[in-house]
Chains A and B, each alone.
Chain A
Amino acid sequence: MRDLVELMVKSLVDDPDQARVNEVSGESIVVYEVSVAEEDLGKVIGKGGRIANAMRTIVKAASTKTDRKATVEILS
């Protein structure tokens, strides 16, 4: 799942070397914390959060195959 988030984030940004995905595991949920170069924030959030929401939807769907829910948070 982390690979999925990383693929999307690194593909979206201009500076993939500065993109990080941190996995925070809870009991019933896994949160993927995304941090990117400041100039790239808009590229992973999108207008009105469209892109971030799309990533959340995708990760949530994929997580139905695992034992825990998963979501994405963009750190700024």
Chain B
Amino acid sequence: MEWAEGTGKTLEEAQQDALQQLGASADEVQFEVLQRPGALGSIFGRAEFRVRAILEDRLEQQEEPGEPVAIEEPPAEAEPQEVPHRDLAETARELLQQMVDLMGVEGTVQIAECTDEEVRLNVEGDDMGLLIGRHGATLDAVQLVIAIVANRRVDAGARVIVDAEDYRARHQAMIESRAHKLAEEAKETGKEVVVPDLKAYERRLMHMALKSDPEVETYSEGEGNDRVLVISPIV
């Protein structure tokens, strides 16, 4: 039988690809969807449709009893679209607003920033303490869920940041000033300062903050929850 397999980011692209290889038009063939992008595929940007286009007349000839060709009509909602991050941002914003409402939090979600790599949402309102949680734990949890779902619905592969009352921005400034304070301590005492209980990105912030300080060096050691950042004075 005469057929060709096509791939593409959208179902249409995959079908076009297959048609080109066959040199046929869409009404001459039957499409069979071989593969849809799964959720993981979308997250890691390997989302791809794979379809098989089978020429119609051949299809009839090979119609044997007991061997039906599985022709699957694709459900429309499963199609990822090629869209700019504004759609990702809007999808994430809507979802976050729904979640905030259902959490019983009075808050309005706004798209604070929308760049090539990053979509940043900010929630403003009362009760932000509830949404932020201890050390930002609730905010991190909300961000994880929003990022996964939004990137799945809109295959954009951008980072999604969820903030509330600019907590993350303020927290970053706090981590940086703490880094400088501890660096001074290391210089004054001439001893290493060990900083435990930091999240990975907090360690990164401290490393970056002290990179330009010629009098100290920083490194991390230990594994998992025991991993610590060390600020070491250069003598």
Contacts and interface: CB of A to CB of B under 8 A. Distances in A.
A58 B99 contact: yes
Interface string B143-165: 01100110000000000000000
Interface string B103-122: 11100000000000000000
Interface of B: 38-39, 95, 98-99, 102-105, 130-131, 133, 137-138, 140-142, 144-145, 148-149
A57 B133 contact: yes
A8 interface: yes
A62 interface: yes
Contacts of B39: 14, 43
A63 B102 CA distance: 11
A1 B138 CA distance: 16
Given A8-B145, A14-B39, A57 B99 contact: no
A61 B131 contact: yes
Given A43-B39, A58-B141, 5 more contacts: A12-B145, A51-B144, A54-B145, A55-B145, A62-B105
25 contacts: A3-B102, A4-B99, A7-B98, A7-B99, A7-B102, A8-B99, A8-B145, A8-B149, A11-B95, A12-B145, A14-B38, A50-B144, A51-B145, A53-B141, A54-B144, A54-B145, A57-B133, A57-B138, A57-B141, A61-B130, A61-B133, A61-B138, A62-B102, A64-B130, A65-B130
**Interface of chain B, helix or strand or loop or mixed?**
helix
